[in-house]
Amino acid sequence: MAEHTAPIIGYLRSPLSQKFGAPRQPNLVALQGVIEMVAPFDVPEAFEGLCDFSHLWLTWQFHHNDKKNNLKNHDDKTFRAQVRPPRLGGNQKIGVFASRSMYRPSKLGLSVVKLEKVLIIDNRVMLQISGADLIDGTPIIDIKPYIPYSDALPDASFGFAPSAPKPIDVVILPTAQAQFEALIESEKKAKPKSGQEQLRFNIQQNLLNEDLPIIKALIAQDPRPAYRQKEVGTRFTMRYKSVDVSFYQENLGELQICDIRQVFD
């Protein structure tokens, strides 16, 4: 089988370090992130003109799928031809190439994200983005500008996903709200950092007031497995920055955030 090796040009820094809780498609949640370019691809000259575009195409790698790779050891006999999309309830099978499943032969993903800012720190480039469906540490393979007149096709058919999933209602219990506010106060005592280190810290660890709407928006996408979405009272936990956010379903159609606790490494 012919192979092609593509260089990794950067890594995404994100508040989400685990797959659970990550949006299943880009731009469903305005999740902030930073692409940290690596040498020799981090030179400002390579990004001249990019700030004139509002959105980017990212080609990236599913780097947490090693144990469930769709094409283990490049052996055609282990190729998983069908998957069970969550959008179809996790029960119906379709062809892997008719899906956007993470378990693909190439382990490559493709996402459109919003470009918030091109940052040059210590003569190295970092791209501040939003709307990514990637997790922290995701290898970036390529970056291209999004061109609306050719990339947006309003007459295209949508198969089994004709519209964005409807967000579920999310409420935060008073005890969890108090925990969040206490954590914000403790984070304010953290010593300021400089340059790229501060930017990474803000994205990956530093809990901010504006994180609460993002946390609620992520949970509103209902990250629970499709076959467990009718369970009442079962607690699920999403890792966000330096905290574990626990939630459960009290009544069908509503998720309650019940606990927000600091994660200690």
The whole-number pLDDT of residue 77 equals 54
The whole-number pLDDT of residue 101 equals 81
The answer to whether 245 touches 219, Cβ cutoff 8 Å, is yes
CA 109 to chain centre: 11
Domain locations along the chain: 10-65+107-151, 169-262
The whole-number pLDDT of residue 37 equals 96
CATH of domain 10-65+107-151: 2.40.30.70
Tell me which architecture the domain covering 169-262 has in CATH. Answer: 2-Layer Sandwich (3.30)
> What tokens were used for 26?
């880009």
| Residues whose CB falls within 8 Å of the CB of residue 97, separated by 6 or more in sequence, listed in order | none
The answer to whether 62 touches 102, Cβ cutoff 8 Å, is yes
Q: For the chain, list residues with pLDDT below 50.
A: 67-76
Please state the φ and ψ torsions of residue 18, each to the nearest 5 degrees. -130, 155
Same fold? 10-65+107-151, 169-262? no
The whole-number pLDDT of residue 91 equals 79
- State the burial class of residue 60 (Cβ atoms within 10 Å of its Cβ: 0-12, 13-18, 19+): buried
Q: CA of 28: how far to CAs of 130, 205, 222, 246, 251, in Å?
A: 10, 22, 12, 21, 24
Q: Give the single-character DSSP code of 218.
A: H
The whole-number pLDDT of residue 87 equals 79
168-179 per-residue burial string, b: 16 or more CB within 10 A, e: under 16: bebebeeebeeb
Q: What is the pLDDT of residues 130-175, one digit of tens each?
A: 999 999 999 999 999 999 999 998 888 888 777 888 999 999 999 9
